[in-house]
Structure 1
């Protein structure tokens, strides 16, 4: 039986990607080539795991017509999902590619304010999830306490599931040493945790290993952009370079990386191979259009 991966998205979004000839302040900017995708960290992870043939369920907080639109898009992509109803409407995130400059502009709302009842209902759904891995990815919307992911990690551990986390800010620091199996920080997030700049590869590997030894998480997957990624474990640290591709967007690349890593580990691939799969998924995402657009054939081609 395939390993069951449940993803948690507390702050999902309708992701709109478009192009414009030129983005200028004070002017009505006409866009074209619009594309809508279901977005939010955990949702992106579930979409990529599903695209790769894995067994994923997207658990999401869903409200309003925008929430229903997210659900419809997941259904259209054949991604299994389960919604926890909230009072507020899900946010709409907008990414515009400026053709004149080549720059990408991203507008990301904070999301709806959740009530204490909303939070309790989400944690109740987490407790009911039948999963081998629980992957929480993305920001916490207003009204959700910083230790929310820490509570989710405790629930997952009590049910015998491995908990993976990709978030930032107070939600990240409040979750350290709370039973997280895999933590995926960016370099900026790692530096925020250790309290100083860590700019060379040996120091990055050392700091990631120290976090594991300190009990922050059992594994640290540190993403380094063009410099690849590091996977730190109790017994060793692995680094792999990035897979060189032409970049069109960065939306969903980190989530795609996490999806590949979780799937690789869930399939009991050697850590080095799981990290390679993760980098291939991230590379496939950045050269696509829209959010976390990853195809299995493309990933396999990048791995050859």
Structure 2
């Protein structure tokens, strides 16, 4: 029986991207026609999974005109969506590329907080989704003044229902996820350092920190993203490090979410740990080749998959 996937995005966005010739201060800048795409951690994971022919349900908050635009964008991509309608407006993000230097400027706006009643409504949806999904991906930031503990309710409830929880977040929310314990955790090196109370980690310290998390039962798999240097996957018995092939980087927006989607696609198909990491890096690298806020093309993933190498 095919494994099922649910993604959860508590702070989604509509990403507006454009480009301009030579960004300079105190001057009116003539931008190219803007492009609008759905954004937010879990939403991007669902969008990427769709490109890998893996169906998923996308649960996310939605409010106001921007929320309506977000829902319409996702319907155009033929995603299965579970919007929770709020009284506050869904946020926008703004991305500009300077065509003179090819440098990208990313402006992220904070999401509006939601009320206690709205939090209860979101949590109530968990019990309504039946049967429980095999994999639950909680990805992205928390909006406004929503406490980090809120993410812990999702983890607790879905673990109790037998789902394998995958988390890609940061800050206090990441610490809460670690406390609850998850199936797969995907921090970058800086986030992993913060989890163990250090400013940065050397390679040996990186190994120790990841293995300590696993030994303490806080995660079955830890995948540490190293940016252009690739990533390292840890389990109780394995350490696998891989590096991506060289590609022309146009944008890094959505690369981390695409990496998560690649890994989830292999988990759904019950692949090996090596395949999990290889597909994750291939999807993340392929997304950096896309312009603006676009995600990868499947043909690029297929090509890059065999070019990812072990280190």
**TM-score band (shorter)?**
over 0.9
Write out per-residue CA displacement over residues 56-107 of structure 1, whole angstroms, 9 at most, x where no aligned residue.
1111101111111111111111111111111101001001011223221111
- Counterpart among 249, 252, 270 of residue 254 in structure 2: 252
- Counterpart among 171, 179, 189 of residue 177 in structure 1: 179
Partner in structure 2 of residue 290 of structure 1: 292
Distance 1:62 1:242 in 2: 35
Q: Determine helix, strand or coil for the equivalent of 2:179.
A: coil
Partner in structure 2 of residue 58 of structure 1: 58
- Counterpart among 211, 214, 221 of residue 213 in structure 2: 211
Distance 2:294 2:101 in 1: 23
Mapped contact 2:13–2:90 kept (Cα < 8 A): yes
Distance 1:64 1:262 in 2: 31
Partner in structure 1 of residue 309 of structure 2: none
Partner in structure 2 of residue 49 of structure 1: 49
Mapped contact 1:45–1:256 kept (Cα < 8 A): yes
Distance 1:169 1:265 in 2: 26
Write out per-residue CA displacement over residues 239-272 of structure 1, whole angstroms, 9 at most, x where no aligned residue.
1112321100010000000010111122111001
Partner in structure 2 of residue 26 of structure 1: 26
Mapped contact 1:127–1:159 kept (Cα < 8 A): no
Write out per-residue CA displacement over residues 207-236 of structure 1, whole angstroms, 9 at most, x where no aligned residue.
211221123322111100111101111122
Distance 2:222 2:182 in 1: 10
* Counterparts in 2 of 1:126 and 1:29: CA distance versus 1, 3 Å: farther
Partner in structure 1 of residue 94 of structure 2: 94
* Counterparts in 2 of 1:296 and 1:2: CA distance versus 1, 3 Å: farther
After superposing the two structures, state which structure 1 stretch, 235-244 or 198-207, moved more: 198-207
Mapped contact 1:92–1:109 kept (Cα < 8 A): yes
Mapped contact 1:284–1:298 kept (Cα < 8 A): yes
- CA-CA distance at 1:199 after TM superposition: 4.6
Distance 1:117 1:101 in 2: 47
Distance 2:236 2:128 in 1: 31
TM-score by length of 2: 0.94
Distance 1:240 1:254 in 2: 15
* Counterparts in 2 of 1:292 and 1:273: CA distance versus 1, 3 Å: farther
1:1-304 equivalences under 5 Å are 1-129=1-129, 130-304=132-306
Distance 1:128 1:257 in 2: 29
After superposing the two structures, state which structure 1 stretch, 290-299 or 235-244, moved more: 290-299
Q: Any stretches of 5+ residues in structure 1 without a counterpart?
A: none
* Counterparts in 2 of 1:290 and 1:4: CA distance versus 1, 3 Å: farther
- CA-CA distance at 1:3 after TM superposition: 1.3
Q: RMSD of the alignment, in Å?
A: 1.4
Distance 2:103 2:159 in 1: 42
Distance 1:187 1:53 in 2: 30
Distance 1:179 1:95 in 2: 34
TM-score by length of 1: 0.96
Distance 2:181 2:158 in 1: 9
Distance 1:261 1:290 in 2: 23
Distance 1:85 1:196 in 2: 39
